[in-house]
Every structure is written in structure tokens, then in C-alpha cells.
Amino acid sequence: MDHTIEKRLQVIEERNKKVEFDKAWETSWTRRLVILGVTYVVVALVLTRIHPEGAWVDAIIPCFGYILSTLSLPPIKAFWIKWKTKRRK
């Protein structure tokens, strides 16, 4: 019986580590910068096809929008969690 409890505990601890790493990745600047880079290249390529002059500069605008949205989400999430917690009481 103790062996199965230890095994179950080990499985739970491994799952918790994976969840911690997933959460760390979701909030990491590495992830944000990768998305920013991909967004910039894709938008710049599309804009180059639409209007070649200044496309690489114009592509910065959606990137700033993305970064601003990621910076604003933590306060919005905290507000949402607080609101949901109050509603459940």
C-alpha cells in the first residue's frame, strides 16, 4: 500500500513541476520576445506585398500592441480573479 502512495505522490510532484514550468513559460519574456519577433517578420512580409515603402517600419506597430497587451494582462487577470472570487461567496 505504501508503495502505491509513494508512486502516486511522485506522479503528482512530476505533474506539479510540469505545471510550474508551463506557467513560467507562459509568463516569460523569452516567449514574449519570440512572439514579438515572429509577429514583426510576418507583418513586415505582408506589408511589403501591400505597400513596399516603409513596410518594415510599419510592422513595428502591431508588435508594440502585442507587448502592451501582455503588460496589461496581469493587472486585468488579478482584477478578474478578485471579481470571480467575490461572486462565488
Given a cut of 80, is residue 89 above it in pLDDT?
no
How high is the pLDDT of residue 16?
A: 94
Given a cut of 70, is residue 1 above it in pLDDT?
no
pTM of the model: 0.66
On average, the pLDDT of the chain sits at: 87
CB 39 within 8 A of CB 66: yes
Sign of CA dihedral 66, 72, 78, 82: negative
Q: Grid coordinates in use for 15?
A: 505533474
Given a cut of 90, is residue 12 above it in pLDDT?
yes
Any idea what the Cα angle at residue 32 is, between residues 29 and 34, rounded to 5°? 110
| Confidence grade of residue 2 (pLDDT, cut at 50, 70, 90) | low
Average pLDDT over residues 26-54: 89
